[in-house]
Every structure is written in structure tokens, then in C-alpha cells.
Amino acid sequence: MLSQKIQKHLKQLQQKKFRKEFEEFIVEGVKGVEEGLNSDADVALLVVEGNRRDENDIAELITLAEKSEIPVEFCGRKDVDDIKTTDTFPGVLAVIGQEQLDLEDVVEGPIICLDEVKDPGNLGTIIRTADWFGIKNIVLSEKCVDVYNPKVVRSTMGSIFHVNILRSENISKTLERLKKEFEYEVNALDMEGKDITKLKPKNKAVYLFGSESHGVSDALEELIDNRYTISGSGDAESLNLAISAGILMSRLSS
């Protein structure tokens, strides 16, 4: 059984305001927890469902945590419904400290910038795709879905620990600094612009994607240097945001 204090803390971390207050988030599942334990992240706690402690993959996580002197707690079936963030608890979760980055931490190589992206699945998939293509830097506007939302974290499949993710407090000012101080150009992906086949990858380039429903916000229009579009030949009205980002990142890595 988990103590009431730990149960309360785990339930609190399911809410954005408490994740922000404690600067922590939850990762569920063997894959995500393993990536967290093997990263430089500050892992505060490992929680294991007691009847699964001897399963090979979970037993290995316990050993890894103990070697790093990370506290390990065991929960019972009665605890699971209160602490899980998924329909079916995968047997293990970890509490991990949020990474705090400055702009200087993301100015080596191209940057994927997301403005007002609301869908957790889209954000998680973009992070995972960036990791696949070796894109190390992502900037999120202040109106994006919380990167530490449990659905986002699950969708990354552990890639959240491999990519630098800066959460901007003012995306207009962040882009202005990137242009003026670090000599980045800003390329927007939208329905109007040059065909993406004309895009020439650059290290000092921001690739800006707007929200799923409204595109890039009006406040950022004057900061855009170039526009590109992904041409299609079918009848669909538009591409899914995460798919569009994947196509762009594929070109950057080629």
C-alpha cells in the first residue's frame, strides 16, 4: 500500500497546476520509465504494482532504480485506480523532475516551433518523430498543450527524454530573439507558400507550425521569412499536423 501522502501527490500530478507547482510529471509504462531512468532526468520515485514486481522487465527497472538510489514504492490493487493515468495500469510509473531550459539550450541546429498546438497526441507524435529524425530542438508557445500532460508523455514513447523542449512564455519575443540574437530565419508551414521541395535545410532555421484549426496566429505573421506548403493531389482538405511535421522533418534529415 502506498502512503496517503504519496497517493495524494500522484493524483495531484495529474493536474497541470500541480505539475507546474512541483515541477514534476508522471511517466507510465516500462518503455517510458526505462528511458527516464537511463536519461539525465531527475527521477524522484518509482512506483511498482506489487504483484508484478518479479516480471523480468519491471524487475530490471527496480534494480536500475536501486542502483541510482531512487526510492521504490509498491502499490496494491486498491491504489491503482487512484494513481493511474491510463485505462489499464501497466504495472510501473515514475515521478520525474521537469527539465528547465533557456533559449541558449536550443540554438544549435534547426528548431521545430509549435504555436497553439492543442492535441496531446499530435504534440507527443511530433516529439517522437523529431527524435526519430535526429531533430533535437522544439519550442512550444505559451498556448500549446502542456508537454507534461500524461497523454503527451505516453505518445512520445520515451522520446521526451531525448529532445530539448523549451516552453516559451512569450512566443513572439522568443522568435524575435532567435532572429536578432542568433540569426535564425523563420519558415512557416501553411497552405500558402512555395512547394516544400524547394526548401533547403539550414541549421539556423525555425520551422513554425500553427494550431490544428487556425494555423499560425496573426501575432507571428510579421516574423515569418519564408512560407512552404506540402502539395497534395487528392481530395482531402488538409494534412494532420503531426504528419505534416513528419514530412518536413524527413526533408531536414535527408
Domain check: are 144 and 26 in the same one? no
Give the CATH number of the domain where residue 239 resides.
3.40.1280.10
Domain check: are 107 and 44 in the same one? no
Among the candidates 63, 97, 131, a domain finishes at 97
Q: What is the pLDDT of residue 160?
A: 98
Domain check: are 57 and 80 in the same one? yes
Domain that includes residue 110, residue range = 103-253
Q: How do the pLDDT tens digits run along the chain, 254 residues long?
A: 899 999 999 999 999 999 999 999 999 999 999 999 999 999 999 999 998 999 999 999 999 999 999 999 999 888 888 888 888 899 999 999 999 999 999 999 999 999 999 999 999 999 999 999 999 999 999 999 999 999 999 999 999 999 999 999 999 999 999 999 999 999 999 888 899 999 999 999 999 999 887 888 989 999 999 999 998 878 777 789 999 999 999 999 86
Give the CATH number of the domain where residue 16 resides.
3.30.1330.30
Among the candidates 45, 72, 97, a domain finishes at 97
| CA 79 – CA 230 distance, rounded (Å) | 48
Domain check: are 30 and 116 in the same one? no
Domain check: are 60 and 146 in the same one? no
Domain check: are 49 and 147 in the same one? no
Q: What is the pLDDT of residue 30?
A: 96
Among the candidates 38, 68, 97, a domain finishes at 97
Q: What is the pLDDT of residue 222?
A: 95
| CA 59 – CA 74 distance, rounded (Å) | 12
Give the number of other CB atoms < 10 A from CB of residue 8: 13
| pLDDT tens per residue, range 132-179 | 999 999 999 999 999 999 999 999 999 999 999 999 999 999 999 999
Q: Which of 42, 48, 126, 41 is nearest to 92 (CA)?
A: 48
Using CA of residue 98, residue 253, residue 121, residue 145, what is the dihedral sign? positive
Domain check: are 113 and 182 in the same one? yes
Q: What is the pLDDT of residue 238?
A: 77
For the chain, what is the domain count? 2
| CA 100 – CA 165 distance, rounded (Å) | 9
Domain check: are 111 and 43 in the same one? no
Domain check: are 86 and 186 in the same one? no
Domain check: are 81 and 49 in the same one? yes
Domain check: are 11 and 27 in the same one? yes
| pLDDT tens per residue, range 101-125 | 999 999 999 999 999 999 999 999 9
Q: What is the pLDDT of residue 177?
A: 98
Enumerate residues 6+ apart whose C-beta is below 8 A from 34: 57, 60, 61, 64, 158
Q: What is the pLDDT of residue 242?
A: 96
Domain check: are 117 and 242 in the same one? yes
Q: What is the pLDDT of residue 182?
A: 97
